[in-house]
Amino acid sequence: MSNKTAAAPVGVQMVEVTVDQDGQRIDNFLRTALKGVPKSLIYRVVRKGELRVNKKRVKPDYRVQAGDQVRIPPIRVAAPREQVPVGQGLTDALEAAVLYEDKDLIIVNKPSGLAVHGGSGVSLGLIEALRQMRPEQRFMELVHRLDRDTSGCIMVAKKRSMLRYLHEALRQKGRISKIYHALVVGRWPTRKHQVDAPLSKNELKSGERIVRVHPMGKPSLTQFRVLRRFGSVATLVEAQPITGRTHQIRVHAQFAGHPIIGDDKYGVDEQNREMKALGFRRLFLHAAELRLTLPNGERLRVEAPLESQLNDGLAKLDASGQDRTELQVGSND
């Protein structure tokens, strides 16, 4: 059976923006309306002025308003792929990984190795799995993203209004705190509290995406705090990204001279091989905690426990005689 999907032509569409869609960027609105259409094609339609909102051209950052009349030009939409069913093992794992859930929001302790969404060779991601697990839920969208190899807290909105609320909160400094734990190579200096270095995203000839510190990059700031030492071999640190750039914590740790253990993109292969012997077989970056205020004013703090593989690795590193030192806040290095 062929996996290819035929492109189905679609004529001009007139779509009215609903109250639930109010405030959404026009490109994101189109991605929902045109399932199966590549993002590059959607952006091209907007840039070329082929799209009309209330009979006028709009810029890519335009935010739709309830009642807007959106004219979508003829476009070829890929026929939907056959849905990949969620296996019982993944269903059970994700149900057990739910850290918080109410009628508007679900927070999951995403396992390492699971992409947040399908595409680019990934047939099934977290969001597709959750939609199958909650078939009665009409709306379910990622609020933010985590790299495939990063584990921990990730928010999924169950209502458009919650998605808009959380996106606005993420844009405003201090309203949502995302706290990560990372095991880095070497002895991170206690007095090094932050890395402030601009980041630039590039694509290699192979198509691989890579991020580098570059003076012409976007301003990027990560705050760090030492949690636990393993002699001069490794340091468990807390990392809090103040900005939200791609691979930010990983690149800032590398830039500081202490790459994250298990990072096959920004780390050191020899050091990663040595740590594999202790059981660190994946990127040791974990979204450990989320702090936010819900729309009703309730303060929410959600913590995601480390998976057993990482805890076992820390125990072996401790037992290997690396002169572990517990640090107190304010101690000198």
Q: What is the DSSP string of 134-195?
A: -TT-S--EESS---TT-EEEEEEESSHHHHHHHHHHHHSTTSEEEEEEEEEES---TT--EE
Q: Which amino acid is at 22?
A: D
Joined tokens for residue 258: 């202490």
**Active-site residue (options: 104, 147, 149, 263):** 147
Joined tokens for residue 243: 């900005």
Classify 114 as helix, strand or coil.
coil
For CA atoms 58, 64, 67, 71, the dihedral sign is positive
Calculate the dihedral angle through the C-alpha atoms of 232, 238, 244, 249, rounding to the nearest 10 degrees. Answer: 10
Burial of 309 (0-12, 13-18, 19+ CB in 10 A): middle
Asked if 147 is an active-site residue, the reply is: yes
> Which sequence positions are flagged as catalytic?
147
